[in-house]
Chain A
């Protein structure tokens, strides 16, 4: 079981690039890449909140639990 990050799907739906999103939420493009590729071990509430705010979605749209 794992937590899958569907950030790329949400970004494609909202038609926003990685660099633009990183700049808007105030993290580096490298860190956003870590999150997108599923290498991240944890996500801060502040980052999740900023992502949800910019992408106009719920945390559940970005994170998904898979058995």
Chain B
């Protein structure tokens, strides 16, 4: 199979689409999930409400994150890689991960496994932030190179 750059970006865009579908399913099925958890794990209706709050609060940042990734990938597909708009997108993604991590930490108070999500989101925020810093540096270098005759 002839695998090129464009197909790779298309695959990434498809993955973003799949994640968007999963997130939409999570939003739609949040009530059912909470109901199941109350019946099988929590034994208390209050925790079910808290779970729904966690899901919807996390979902907001999930949607923002996916939208920014979509924009980023579209720019990459158009050949606009080292531009400030992409750095801005990555900064937003990084902050979304930080806030998802905070929500995970708070949610760990009533359901401990959320702590794993908090750590994963925090680590993801760190990775995206480092890549963003590298992009910033690359933009400066590209500007200099573009103006070297």
Give the interface of A toward B (CB within 8 A).
27, 31-32, 34-35, 39-44, 47
Contacts and interface: CB of A to CB of B under 8 A. Distances in A.
Interface string B94-128: 00000000000000000000000000000000000
- Looking at chain B's contact residues, the main secondary structure is mixed
Contacts of B147: 34, 39-42
Interface string B131-145: 000000000000110
Interface residues of B, number: 5
Contacts of A39: 147
A16 B114 CA distance: 72
Contacts of A47: 149
Contacts of A43: 148-149
A12 to B, nearest CB: 19
A53 B81 CA distance: 37
Contacts of B148: 40-44
B36 to A, nearest CB: 61
Nearest to B147: A41
Nearest to A5: B149
Nearest to A39: B147
Contacts of A27: 149
B139 to A, nearest CB: 14
